[in-house]
Chain A
Amino acid sequence: MGGDDSQPMVVAQRLRKVYRGATAVEALRGVDLEVRRGEMVAIVGPSGSGKTTLLNCLSGLDRFDGGRVVIDGADLTTMSDRDRTAYRARNMGFVFQAFNLLPVLTAVENTEIPLLLQGVSARAARRRAEEMLETLGLAQRARHRPDQLSGGEQQRVAVARALVHKPAVVWADEPTGNLDTEVTHVITELLVKTNREGQTIVLVTHNPQVSERASRVIRMRDGRIQEAARAGVEGAAT
């Protein structure tokens, strides 16, 4: 983190993505989008509208068939797989719907993964991971494996893992999709709090309880951005 504050954190231009199978499906049809630093953007829309595909293409998890993606000034389009992977490790955090914690590792070990992948020393990584869990109220659960944690606790560990290395952007795909209302509220507030501390967050959600807390809502349909909600927001719609 820490680029030019006047520059947008995420820029997507004419983004196209086609799924090839028996018949080709155009999941993204020339999406243009900008996310500013410190924004919390919620992407909403019906199933099959292309929200998750957009998130995956923006975060470099998926290749796209046309257009351009720039994250914090770095053009993902021109990066090799290796460079993109390294870039993800340094500058991105992920929160998934199914938590995606590694079952063989404890909460603190899961949390320190991004740090270790960046080459941070084991001792420093452990210290920072413990601090992060403490911040999220999970200090007592640090030595527990995922199967010993509740769904809410698992997702909080996942959030800790996404934030521990201070990424430029956190991508969250249905972060509350597997949680009940009460825990959804906890996780949403956690994301909002993090966003208020300056963390850029882009999330996909079906849940209005989550999207209404975002600083901007982008509505998608049929692979296109239909509208950008919230007054004064400049999200481009195509």
Chain B
Amino acid sequence: MSAWSWFVIGTFLAVYGVLALLALRRPLLARLAFREAWRGGLQTGLVVAGLALAGMGITAGLVAADSTEASVTQNAYLSMGEVDLTVTGNGALFDASVADRLAADRNLATGIDGVQGGLDLVGAVADLDQRASDTAVRLYGFDASRQRPFGAFHLVGGRRTYGDDLPPAGVLVSRDLADALHAQAGDRLRISAGASSAEVLVAGVVKLEGPGAFGLGRTLFAPLGSIPSLAAAGNQINVVRLSTPGDGLAGIAAGRRSLPAVREAVAGLGVPGLEVNEAKAAQVRQAERSTQSARATLVTMSLLVVAAAATVVVHLTLMLAEERRRRLGTLRALGLSRSGLVFLSVLESALYSLAGAVVGVLPGLALARYLGQVAAEAGAALSGSESTGYQLAVRPETVAVAVSLAAMLTVVTMAAAALRTARFAISAAIRDLPEPASKGGRRWRLLAAGLLAAAGFAIALAGGGAGRVLGATLMIVGATWAGRRWIEDRARYTLAGTLILAWALVVQATTTLSSEDNAAFAVFFVGIVVSVFGLSLVVAANLALVDRFLALVSPRLGATLRAPVAYMTRRPLRTGLTTGAFGIVLAAITVFAVVGGSYQPDYARDSAGFDVIVRSAQPAITLSPALQAQIARAEVIPTRLYLGRFLAPNSTGYAGGDSTYVPLYTLSEAQLANPPLHLSTRSQRFPDDASVWRAMREDPGLVVAAPTFVAYSYLSSRVNTMLHEMERAGIEIVHMLKDSEALTGIISFQQSPETLSGPREAHRDR
């Protein structure tokens, strides 16, 4: 269990423990709290259901984050199969005898189940029979004679094979690759990797199981004997795969135990440049790391629900206090202190909160499951690969944290509200009369309003865009509070609501969505909550207009609705809170619906006027004169496929790993002068798009990244960040491509960066 979990659960236990002790010391209050909490079946049910919103939001956020992590981690295990350790030369080829010598090493006999030489490449594959190609395919070369410890390939149709019974030049393709090429068993494929190529036959399509899950996408599995031409001299490999006893974590642990022996054995080979990698552990670590941003996003989104829930809690507290005002007044008259009254409210709210938090778990799990499935399907659709499914991970620790957080959130909110509701005139409360105007407290009110405004000012100064929204809102609230004596309520609330709404909208409108950090998201999040409340306040303060309108339209209806409208008008702040709670939920739904429904990519703009993309594994393509005549404009963008170590910073540290695949597109000097690509986000140090392209010509360390690639791989990489390990000095992302459909990768000037793979070309014709 993490320190954070310990802290949350510990705090929850401490808070509830203290409350329990105090309840034992004050049996009257405990009895009252318990009886009040469980008094009315329907009322209790409604209150608990309202409070369950917070539990549901928090549970959904945390469990969805856990499930995403579990699913991605599971995929990492699936992708690595039985391969726990690898020996590589960082992409360089070395002699296949390295694998034989390691397999024969007696010191490895106990800790290592299997040793296999192989090739791990990225290349292009063309189906010569279907006349279809894919320029980005993982090539998994394996030694079929040593495949057994690594498991059998499961073919579509039910057959299993270790590869040693495939026909000469026979290879296996993943279902994703088969779908992309429309490939069938018996089709002829041309594989191109680096400067080499080979012609092979499709012997079968493999399922996403066992070794066939490698890459989790478009992968070609070839026995080394079927692709000798890809291995330079024909007897070279670039990876030795090692399997240790045990699956999953046990395999990783066994790999770690065997690591010293393997390193010693590799060192004893006398082959320079070889290194031993904890491949599966690194892959799993990377998977876990890559979900940190998703976790932050999911938890932040769930805060929208929590914000709505908090307003419901405040409203419920005020409602309960109002309903029980006479009883509370009686208790005060009989000698219960104000702090005792607060304790009574806290005790009762603790019972409600705990029940609400527990009840919220089930709908939270259902919501997490739904969100996860939607995300998994969207992810699969985005990457164009077979969905590996979504694993709902319900960890007791997470549920305990969710219950603790939700319970404490509502307890704290209700306690804060109880501090307010415990202040009343006893004599008026006893007889349920309206609260008399009080001369006292003005100085305190002014002081508190001043402190609130000062806090708002400090937050506005320190907090960026979101801080400006929140800070100014607090300042407006402070001023509204302070002005109670001088400005009539309706005018005050209308003015405050309008100012809050206007300010939130102005800040949101002037914040660039794709700025260099995550500020836009924070502004959006805070802005939506604040603007909903601003608008709710305006509406609540002016409900009297509804009364007048109804009276004009239908006097009878007006008379009927006068009482409820008057009640709501009398308490604009409370009505605003209630309206706001529903408003936030509606706003969230509306935002998602509108964003999803109104997304209409501008293909003409985003594709920079190009209509057709032709990806070819050949350095050049020849078109027939008839076709040539139809082309108005064509650009050739050479593509190089990088497979190796790659690190990119994101909000949670670094993403990437030892074996990361990155397509690199290089533009010529002429293309940089007249770029064929449309751009979106720009580093602020460049005044316009043209200056970015000019800078790339002068500084080979600058690149442009395609957002799909960045979003797909790292979620939160952004401009002004450095990509490490790709070359000695690193390269810096200075721009994001608008055209995410067309290219997926990094665009650089032709002089940068040096990669390990040979050139490939992508043609864009019109």
Contact = CB atoms under 8 A, between A and B. Distances in A.
Contacts of B351: none
Q: Which of B335, B425, B436 has the most CB of A within 10 A?
A: B335
Given A62-B425, A113-B28, A100 B430 contact: yes
B160 interface: no
Interface string B402-432: 0000000000000000000000011100110
Given A61-B427, A61-B430, A105 B32 contact: yes
A102 B36 CA distance: 10
Nearest to A96: B430
Interface in B323-358: 326-327, 329-340
Given A96-B330, A105-B32, A81 B430 contact: no
Given A85-B335, A85-B338, A116 B32 contact: no
Q: Which of A86, A102, A109, A116 has the most CB of B within 10 A?
A: A102
Nearest to B425: A62
A72 to B, nearest CB: 15
B28 A116 contact: yes
Interface string B701-731: 0000000000000000000000000000000
B436 A117 contact: no
B426 to A, nearest CB: 5
Given A20-B439, A102-B330, A82 B32 contact: no
A88 B36 contact: no
Interface string A104-145: 110001001110111000100000000000000000000000
Nearest to A63: B440
A179 B335 CA distance: 26
A85 B332 contact: yes
Contacts of A97: 431
Contacts of B338: 81-82, 85
Nearest to A100: B330
B548 interface: no
A102 B39 CA distance: 12
B335 A56 contact: no
A122 B23 CA distance: 13
Interface string B20-51: 00000001100110011001000000000000
Given A19-B436, A100-B330, A61 B426 contact: yes
A61 B329 CA distance: 10
A92 B438 CA distance: 25
A112 B332 CA distance: 15
Given A62-B425, A117-B28, A104 B334 contact: no
Given A85-B335, A88-B334, A103-B327, A98 B31 contact: no
B213 to A, nearest CB: 61
Contacts of B1: none
B437 interface: yes
A208 interface: no
A62 B428 CA distance: 9
A104 B438 contact: no
Q: Which of B327, B334, B339 has the most CB of A within 10 A?
A: B334
A70 interface: no
Given A56-B427, A104-B32, A105-B35, A86 B437 contact: no
A117 B336 contact: yes
A89 interface: yes
A21 interface: yes
A114 B337 CA distance: 12
Contacts of B334: 88-89, 94, 113-114, 117, 161
Contacts of A53: 427
B132 to A, nearest CB: 76
Nearest to B28: A116
A62 B425 CA distance: 7
Contacts of B431: 96-98
A19 B437 CA distance: 7
Contacts of B35: 104-105
A41 B615 CA distance: 104
Q: Which of A85, A92, A103 has the most CB of B within 10 A?
A: A85
Contacts of A52: 427
A220 B517 CA distance: 73
Q: At the interface, is chain B mostly helix, strand, loop or mixed?
A: helix
A90 interface: yes
B703 to A, nearest CB: 69
Nearest to B336: A117
A103 B430 CA distance: 14
A104 B39 contact: yes
A86 B427 contact: no
Nearest to B328: A102
A109 B431 CA distance: 22
Contacts of A86: 335, 337
Contact of A21 (B28, B332, B340, B437): B437
Contacts of A122: 27
B27 A20 contact: no
A86 B563 CA distance: 40
A161 B334 CA distance: 9
B32 A20 contact: no
Contacts of A96: 330, 430-431
A112 B27 CA distance: 12
A90 B337 CA distance: 13
Given A105-B32, A116-B27, A62 B426 contact: yes
Interface string B125-166: 000000000000000000000000000000000000000000
A102 B335 contact: no
Given A85-B336, A88-B334, A62 B437 contact: no
A154 to B, nearest CB: 13
Interface in A6-28: 19-21
Contact of A82 (B337, B430, B437): B337
A53 B427 CA distance: 8
Contacts of A117: 28, 334-336, 340
A57 B419 CA distance: 24
Given A82-B337, A100-B430, A105 B436 contact: no
B427 A102 contact: no
A100 B438 CA distance: 25
Nearest to A104: B35
Interface string B438-461: 111000000000000000000000
Contacts of B39: 103-104
Contacts of B337: 82, 85-86
B536 to A, nearest CB: 28
A21 B438 CA distance: 8
A62 B333 CA distance: 10
B439 A94 contact: no
A137 B613 CA distance: 98
Contact of A88 (B32, B327, B335, B439): B335
A89 B338 CA distance: 13
Interface in A159-192: 161
A77 to B, nearest CB: 15
Given A21-B436, A117-B336, A62 B327 contact: no
A168 to B, nearest CB: 13
20 contacts: A56-B426, A63-B440, A85-B332, A88-B334, A89-B336, A90-B335, A97-B431, A98-B326, A100-B327, A100-B330, A100-B430, A102-B32, A103-B39, A104-B39, A112-B28, A113-B331, A113-B334, A116-B28, A117-B334, A161-B334
Interface of A: 19-21, 52-53, 56, 59, 61-63, 81-82, 85-86, 88-90, 92, 94, 96-98, 100, 102-105, 109, 112-114, 116-118, 122, 161
Interface of B: 27-28, 31-32, 35-36, 39, 326-327, 329-340, 425-427, 430-431, 436-440
Top 8 closest A-B pairs, CB basis? A89-B335, A104-B35, A116-B28, A56-B427, A100-B330, A117-B335, A20-B437, A61-B426
Given A19-B437, A59-B333, A102-B327, 16 more contacts: A20-B436, A21-B437, A62-B425, A82-B339, A85-B336, A85-B337, A88-B334, A89-B336, A94-B330, A100-B329, A100-B330, A100-B333, A102-B32, A105-B32, A109-B31, A114-B334
